[in-house]
Structure 1
Amino acid sequence: MKHSDTDIIIAGGGLAGATLALALARVAPALRVTVVETFPLSSDALPDSYQPSYDARSTALAWGSRLIFEELGLWSRLSEHATPIQHIHVSDRGRFGATRLNAREYQQEALGYVVDNRWMGLCLMRELLDTQTQWQAPAEVVGMTPTEQGVQVSLKTGSETTTLSAQCLIVADGGRSGLRETLGFQASHHGYNQNALVANVSTSDSHEFTAFERFTDAGPMALLPHGSPAHAGYQSALIWTLDDKELEEVLGMTDRNKCERLQSRFGWRLGRFTHIGACSHYPLSLTTVEEPVRPGVALVGNAAHALHPVAGQGFNLALRGLMTLVEQFRLADEQGRSPGDFQILRRYHELHRPDRQQTVQFSDSLIRIFGHSLAPVAAARDAGLVGLDLLPGAKRLFARKAMGTGGRRADINGPGVSHTPGPIQSRSPGHD
């Protein structure tokens, strides 16, 4: 089983690839893992301390994802700069329907957390330095050939191309994966004719650790608490859905006019918008790969499924899938089987598929329902939001969904955390 150069090659050292590498080091340490990343990596580049930037992009982690990171031994460090979401407020602009969740009602310290992507990456790198994980960086996987022992992977470093043999290749290079297409995986794309504008904003009123999800006639938007984990501040992470025309208009505005346009869309629940930071944007679409596994190869994270950020489940869904895959690799190693064995990879796909299908369906249907302006549909939405707020059983189920647990504890040794939605996720496309 050990005749190859390495057991598992992970193409992509972003959040998904690095998390997978750490989970394998914790759960199946006998497996040899090599991560191939296009960006240079050096332990000297890791700072001794982290100073959050106002313009840092961030990710919303469900409570269930926190439990997974606890199992990986990462949460203690990660929590130093993880802003808790203690309340969630969901509303339909211009209508009376609303639902509110409070972590204390469910004996939890938080419903989720908002973490800077760079801080999460640094925490992962720090932990990985203490493992046997090997790195090829800067380098890029540009091709793969199946062999009797597994796969022969072509690596490009500058103008030089080399090969590395492995038993399994994991594609984790993000939603814009070029390797996915190179290997011939068929991806289905559904465009929403919308864009996500992502920025950090300041308001005159404190967020009080509240995440706001606001559905408007122009599309959903969200404000997530950002900044200090201990003191409720005045900075929030914004995800603003805009069509092409309005995006162009907003990008051309002064910061003051952007704040005024945002005020008119969101309202005054956080007082006046006083500042908006650097804006990034990307087109929104639903991308899925129905068959993300082949003998010796598997797609994970955004390379396998990229969702609309409305439900905040891009990385949370990916994390649950990674834990399912890790468990199958652990079992394969115990049984003396190759991690690239198609039966092993297919079993992972079968276990993760219900979670993925239901999460994708929820995210997509939410966009369709709240994007409908017909009066009967809008009235039904209002009734649904009010009903959630008034009926204890329905509200408890909604809270479980928001926390990404479905009433179960996250378990690293199985498919684990339930397929459940959380707050809108603030992040940029690319490596996940």
Structure 2
Amino acid sequence: MTRSDTDLVIAGGGLAGATLALALSRAVPSLRVTVVEAFPLSADALPEDYQPSYDARSTALAWGSRLIFEELGLWSRLSEHATPIRYIHVSDRGRFGATRLNAAEYQQEALGYVADNRWMGLCLMRELLDTNVEWRAPAEVVDMLPTEDGVCVSLKAGAETSTITAQCLIVADGGRSGLREKLGFRTRTHNYGQNALIANVSTSDSHGFAAFERFTDAGPMALLPHGSPTRAGNQSALVWTLTDQSLQDILALSGEDKCRQLQARFGWRLGRFTRIGECSHYPLTLTTVDEPVRPGVALVGNAAHALHPVAGQGFNLALRGLMTLVEQFRLAVEQNQSLGELRVLRRYQELHRQDWQQTVRFSDSLIRLFGQSLMPLAVARDAGLMGLDLLPGAKRWFARKAMGIGGRRAVITGPGSGKRESADYE
């Protein structure tokens, strides 16, 4: 076999691509990994200089994701600005049905966490500085051709183009990139006819480290505790589902009027809404790829599946998939197999498929069930939510889904630990 320029090319250095690169450096330090990222990197932007912004966008991390970040040696730093979710309250607006989850009932410190995306990126960059991972930025992957020994990846940096050979290409540049389509992967997309409005809000009452999932006749909305990891403050991260017209109507309002509209939809569980920050928005779709692998290339993260944010499952699902892929690459190196061999990538796909199918069904069924206003379904929803509170087994199943546990993962504790077996999220 001809020696390639690198072993693995990761297209995209965002949260998914950077996490994969770090996990590979921990599990298989002998691998040569090259990350190609469109945005320039600054060695000066390190966690020590981080100042949280009110308008910072954030991600909900399940308890299972915390376990993964602990294994990567990242959690002690990341937790400095990760707000715990100790309670979850799920309700159906205008009806009596509700269910409540409490981390203490499951002997956990938290059900999950909320962390700023930029903070997570800085923590990952800081760890990656101490690895042998190569970065090419700013640059982008524009094409790929299979070769006898792997793949030949075409790069573009400004006006310059170049190629790099590797055993395998990982597409981790998100669901909106054109690279997936350029390479001929076929997607299935369901448009929910809704948009997610994202903003940080302040309320007169403290969030008390509680997350609220509120289903309304206009669509679901979520409020997640945000701000300090130790003090229950008054800031929450909002995900507000709106139709096209409702979105435009809301965006045209002043901040004060936005708060009034939000109050009318959410209610008074957190007191009065006193401030809403900078709003961003995007259309909501369910996008999946039936065959996310082929010889020499694999899709991960949002490039492979993009979910409705109703249950906060997207990044957590992606993270579990990344760890599954890392374990298959580790085994391939042990068995002297090429990383791009189809049997290696298909093992990853088969192991991850059940997880993403179950997670997609879970998220999608919530939208379809709570999006119906017919009286029989509304009554059934009420009974179901109250039943979760009354039936310990059903409630525990729901809690495990919310915490992102119960799946399979590769244990990656760092070089020299000797701990490389698979284990359950427990």
Contact 1:324 1:414 in 2 (8 A): no
Does the 8 Å CA contact 1:149/1:167 hold for their aligned counterparts?
A: yes
1:309-328 mapped onto 2 (5 Å cutoff):
309-328=309-328
Residues 214-264 of structure 1, C-alpha deviations (whole Å, 9 max, x = no match): 000000000000000000000000000000111000000000000000000
Q: Say whether 1:282 aligns with 2:278.
A: no
Is residue 165 of structure 2 the alignment partner of residue 165 of structure 1?
yes
Shift of 1:396: 1.8
Residue 22 (structure 2) aligns with: 22
Matched residue of 1:221: which SS? Answer: strand
Name the counterpart of 1:226.
226
Cα distance between partner residues in 1 of 2:325 and 2:389: 37
Q: Is the 8 A contact 1:150 1:296 kept in 2?
A: yes
Q: Structure 1 residues 409 and 143, CA, compared in 2 at 3 Å: closer, same or farther?
A: closer
Quick one: distance in 2 between partners of 1:408 and 1:179?
A: 29
TM superposition shift of 1:48 = 2.9
Residue 76 of structure 2 is matched in structure 1 by: 76
Aligned amino acid, residue 102 of structure 2: N
Aligned residue type for 2:27: V
Counterpart of 2:295? 295
Maintained 8 Å contact 2:323/2:409 = no
8 A contact 1:411–1:417 mirrored in 2: no
Q: Is 1:323–1:415's contact at 8 Å kept on the other side of the alignment? A: no
Instruction: Give the equivalent residue in structure 1 for 2:347.
Output: 347
Residue 42 (structure 1) shift? 2.9
| SS at structure 1 position matched to 2:196 | strand
Corresponding residue for residue 255 of structure 1: 255
Distance 1:144 1:13, change over 3 A: same
Find the counterpart in structure 1 of residue 151 from structure 2: 151
* Unmatched segments (≥5 aa) in structure 1: 421-432
Cross-structure match for 1:137: 137
Matched position secondary structure for 1:376: helix
Q: In structure 2, what is the equivalent of residue 425 of structure 1?
A: none
CA distance in 2, matches of 1:406, 1:90: 21
For residues 65 and 357 of structure 2, the distance between their equivalents in structure 1, rounded to whole angstroms, comes to 19
Q: CA offsets, 1:168-202, max 9 Å, x none? A: 00000001021001101001111000000000000
Distance (whole Å) between structure 2 residues aligned to residue 286 and residue 416 of structure 1: 29
C-alpha distance after superposition, 1:322-353 (max 9, x if no partner):
00000000000011111011100011001100
- What percentage of aligned pairs have identical amino acids? 79
TM-score (norm. length: structure 1): 0.95
Unaligned runs of 5+ in 2: 413-419
Q: State how far apart, in whole Å, the 1-side matches of 2:385 and 2:47 are.
A: 45
TM-score by structure 2 length? 0.96
The residue type equivalent to 1:260 in the other structure is R
1:385 aligns with 2:395: no
The one-letter code sitting in structure 2 at the alignment partner of 1:248 is Q
**Mapping for residues 46-85 of structure 1, pairs under 5 Å:** 46=46, 48-85=48-85
Distance 2:133 2:166 in 1: 14
Question: Compared with structure 1, are the counterparts of its residues 409 and 177 closer, same or farther at alpha carbon in structure 2 (3 Å cutoff)?
Answer: closer
Q: Tell whether the 8 Å contact from 2:47 to 2:119 is kept in structure 1 after alignment.
A: no
Amino acid at match of 1:142: V
CA contact (8 A) 2:355 2:407 kept: no
SS in 1 for 2:44: helix
- CA–CA distance in 1 between the matches of 2:35 and 2:408? 32
Query: What SS does structure 1 have at the residue aligned with 2:156?
Result: strand
**1:355-376 Cα distance to aligned partner (Å, 9 max, x none):** 1111111111110000000000
Matched-pair contact (CA < 8 Å) for 2:6–2:32:
yes
Instruction: State the 1:407 CA deviation.
Output: 8.3
In 1, Cα distance between equivalents of 2:182 and 2:269: 47
